[in-house]
């Protein structure tokens, strides 16, 4: 038996070796001038896998050019990311996406010597705000051009309109900014505009220009692109009605017009797009009802109409879409009473968003039987849907990642079937603004090991704080009736960003954690209006602490302020008001460079407010300070008035 197995393995090895040799023998040899052009192209950029065009985008990177000309010889046709024509040996494809290329891109780059190029993919690199080179339009054979998310900026050159053989053009997501909530469009398409750019590109089947700044009405710009299958114009600052000329695009299977200012009704031509499987109109100004003809789009799998002005009821025909996987209708003005069971019968439905409409969801008793539940949800968003109890089918959703049930009328305890370990993928729970009184049998250890966000604010929760998984980064338990001391387990929240326990009946001392949680990643800590005592737990032990806002007000904190080990360099808001703190004026706070608000009202601060320790740089950003109702004596040193320049800035309303 062992001998026969050895024979089989030996034969297999020689077969694979022969196959490899056969492939190598078929490998064409590249031309010397093209190999040299690739080598010079590679030398024109650094390799930097740490520098990312989009810090909020997770992309697996692979520096393909790092091995060129070394590990795999001089034949560039065998280099990683390079394709050659098997007969001529000319380079016809460069697939250098995610290759860590870093540096400026110019029209004199040697890549433009590759005149036989048919495919060029430079997506997910960092070309440091370079304009798209005009020479990019002088590849006469080019069919695929992908420059997605690579930090190009400026006007898209008119020369791209010369690429008459182009079938795929992707310039999407060349965006900047450090705030994921504020997208800065780096590329513009105004002169030429969209119509001028694509008028000769009649072979296009994919056009992806998401977050290219256009800022005009779409008009009939796309009327000639009758072969178009994929269209992405999200975040392009387009406005006006969606033009009827899109009705010519009968081959469309993917339509993304999100985050624009389109107005008017959902256009009727959409019903003729029988191949459509994806439509995204999120964050527009689309009004009117959901058309009943949507039920005829049998291929549709993904519908995103989040944050528009849709009215009326959800048509029954929508429940005939058996292939539907995502249905996002949140933040509209839809109305009517719906049976939740109607959605559960859509067996493929994984994303359901109904939040913040005027919908009333009715839960039938038979839904308690798990056998009636067919859908396997990932995202369930049913905030403000007039629910009075938890839908019990949720306990059987083993793939659930997000559960949003806030702003309903749910009363009683958090049900037992949701407190099980089968919901291990659950990352976010929002049950704020309900009438929930506690967890089942006062269970306080939460079992969801992947949980990152838990919002239970504004309920009627009693008893102790629940013990949270260490994965939590945002916990809001404010405006409840929670009592008792904070469990020591809170020190395990090493990645916490926001912790809000305000407006409860919590007491005792706030735990002092080794390698303090407060000195790590936390951005905001709110303990306002409880019954905490002891000294203020403010200890920034890391020079680059992210802490921005702390509110200790309306408690019973006593003693002196503990001078932090190192400055909280990012601290902006600090409230000690309404406590029993007995100390002199903390002049050392003046060295916190970003501090804008300091509130010390109603304490036992005393003594003379001393002069600034330094004549410059004391409270450089301070805008509000309240030291009233304390026991200070003497005058406020005039030097502070000279230093607090941020208080002097004001704008006149017009």
At 649 the pLDDT is 64
**How many domains is the chain partitioned into structurally?**
2
User: Tens digit of pLDDT for each residue in 447-496?
Assistant: 899 999 999 999 999 999 999 999 999 999 999 999 999 988 888 888 89
Give the integer Cα–Cα distance in Å for 343 and 350: 10
Residue 515 lies in a domain: yes
Give the integer Cα–Cα distance in Å for 61 and 386: 46
Q: Do 71 and 12 form a contact (C-beta atoms < 8 A)?
A: no
Give the integer Cα–Cα distance in Å for 644 and 626: 14
Residue 149 lies in a domain: yes
Give the integer Cα–Cα distance in Å for 406 and 436: 11
Residue 494 lies in a domain: yes
Joined tokens for residue 132: 């798209």
Which residues, 6 or more positions from 569, have their beta carbon under 8 angstroms from its beta carbon?
Answer: 540, 543, 544, 545, 592, 593, 594
Residue 278 lies in a domain: no
Q: Do 193 and 221 form a contact (C-beta atoms < 8 A)?
A: yes
Among 214, 236, 270, the domain boundary falls at 214
User: Tens digit of pLDDT for each residue in 535-582?
Assistant: 887 766 555 678 899 999 999 999 998 776 456 788 999 999 999 999
Give 546: exposed, middle or buried? Use CB within 10 Å, 0-12, 13-18, 19+. middle
| Residue 479, domain CATH | 3.80.10.10
Instruction: Classify 42 as helix, strand or coil.
Output: helix
Q: Do 142 and 117 form a contact (C-beta atoms < 8 A)?
A: yes
Give the integer Cα–Cα distance in Å for 9 and 612: 81
At 599 the pLDDT is 97
At 536 the pLDDT is 86
Residues of the chain with pLDDT under 70: 1-26, 52-58, 70-72, 365-374, 421, 440-443, 514-520, 539-544, 564-567, 613-617, 649-654
At 395 the pLDDT is 86
Residue 389 lies in a domain: no
Q: What is the DSSP secondary structure assignment for residue 322, as one 8-state letter?
A: T
Q: Do 490 and 466 form a contact (C-beta atoms < 8 A)?
A: no
Among 214, 244, 262, the domain boundary falls at 214
Give the integer Cα–Cα distance in Å for 524 and 461: 22
At 566 the pLDDT is 55
What sign for the dihedral angle of Cα 295, 296, 298, 304? negative
Residue 552 lies in a domain: yes
Helix (H) or strand (E) holding 38: helix 32-43
Residue 14 lies in a domain: no
Joined tokens for residue 320: 């005939």
Q: Do 271 and 295 form a contact (C-beta atoms < 8 A)?
A: no
**Rounded alpha-carbon distances, angstroms, from residue 114 to 89, 140, 368:** 12, 10, 65
Among 214, 241, 268, the domain boundary falls at 214
At 568 the pLDDT is 77
Containing structural domain, residue 587: 461-654
At 396 the pLDDT is 86
DSSP output for 241-273: EPPGGGGG-TT--EEE--SSEEEESPPGGGGG-
Residue 66 lies in a domain: yes
């Amino acid at each position: 038996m062992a001998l026969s197995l050895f024979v089989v393995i030996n034969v297999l090895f020689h077969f694979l070796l022969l196959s490899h040799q056969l492939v190598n023998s078929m490998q064409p040899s590249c031309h010397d001038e093209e190999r040299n052009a690739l080598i010079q192209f590679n030398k024109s950029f650094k390799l930097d896998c740490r520098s990312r065009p989009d810090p909020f985008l997770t992309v697996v990177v692979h520096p393909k050019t790092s091995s060129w000309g070394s590990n795999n010889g001089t034949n560039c046709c065998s280099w990683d990311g390079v394709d050659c024509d098997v007969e001529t040996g000319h380079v016809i494809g460069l697939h250098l996406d995610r290759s860590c290329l870093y540096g400026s891109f110019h029209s004199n780059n040697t890549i433009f010597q590759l005149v036989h190029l048919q495919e060029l993919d430079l997506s997910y690199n960092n070309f440091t705000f370079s304009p798209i080179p005009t020479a990019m339009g002088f590849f006469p054979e080019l069919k695929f051009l992908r420059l997605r998310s690579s930090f190009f900026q400026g006007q898209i050159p008119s020369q791209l309109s010369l690429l008459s053989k182009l079938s795929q053009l992707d310039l999407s997501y060349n965006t900047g900014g450090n705030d994921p909530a504020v997208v800065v469009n780096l590329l513009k398409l105004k002169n030429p505009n969209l119509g001028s750019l694509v008028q000769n590109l009649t072979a296009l089947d994919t056009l992806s220009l998401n977050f290219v700044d256009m800022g005009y009405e779409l008009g009939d710009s796309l009327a000639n692109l009758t072969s178009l299958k994929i269209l992405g114009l999200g975040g392009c600052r387009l406005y006006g009605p969606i033009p009827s000329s899109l009705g010519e695009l009968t081959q469309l299977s993917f339509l993304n017009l999100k985050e624009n200012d389109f107005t008017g009704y959902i256009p009727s031509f959409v019903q003729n797009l029988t191949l459509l499987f994806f439509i995204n109109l999120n964050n527009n100004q689309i009004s009117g009802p959901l058309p009943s003809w949507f039920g005829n789009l049998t291929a549709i799998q993904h519908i995103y109409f989040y944050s528009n002005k849709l009215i009326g009821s959800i048509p029954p025909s929508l429940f005939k879409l058996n292939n539907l996987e995502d249905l996002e209708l949140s933040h509209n003005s839809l109305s009517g009473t719906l049976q939740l069971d109607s959605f559960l019968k859509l067996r493929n439905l994984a994303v359901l968003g109904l939040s913040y409409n005027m919908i009333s969801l009715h839960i039938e008793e038979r839904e308690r039987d798990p056998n009636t539940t067919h859908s396997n949800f990932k995202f369930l968003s049913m905030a403000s849907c007039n629910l009075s109890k938890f839908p019990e089918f949720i306990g059987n959703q083993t793939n659930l990642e997000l559960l949003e049930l806030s702003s309903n009328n749910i009363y009683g305890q958090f049900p037992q079937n949701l407190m099980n370990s089968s919901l291990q993928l659950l990352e976010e729970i929002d049950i704020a603004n309900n009438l929930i009184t506690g967890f089942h049998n006062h269970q306080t250890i939460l079992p969801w090991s992947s949980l990152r966000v838990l919002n239970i604010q504004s309920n009627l929760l009693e008893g102790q704080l629940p013990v949270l998984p260490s994965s939590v980064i945002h916990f809001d338990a404010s405006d409840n009736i929670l009592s008792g001391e904070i469990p020591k387990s809170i020190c395990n929240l090493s990645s916490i960003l926001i912790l809000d326990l305000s407006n409860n009946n919590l007491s005792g001392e706030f735990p002092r954690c080794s390698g303090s949680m407060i000195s790590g990643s936390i951005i905001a800590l709110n303990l306002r209006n409880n019954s905490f005592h002891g000294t203020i737990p403010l200890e920034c032990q890391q020079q680059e602490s992210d802490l921005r806002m702390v509110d200790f007000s309306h408690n019973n904190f006593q003693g002196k302020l503990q001078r932090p080990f190192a400055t909280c360099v990012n601290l902006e808001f600090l409230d000690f008001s309404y406590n029993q703190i007995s100390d002199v004026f903390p002049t050392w706070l003046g060295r916190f460079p970003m501090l804008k608000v300091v509130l010390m009202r109603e304490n036992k601060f005393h003594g003379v407010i001393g002069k600034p320790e330094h004549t410059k740089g004391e409270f450089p950003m301070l805008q509000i300070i309240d030291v009233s109702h304390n026991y200070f004596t003497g005058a406020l040193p005039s030097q502070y008035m000279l230093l607090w320049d941020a208080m002097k800035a004001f704008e006149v309303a017009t």
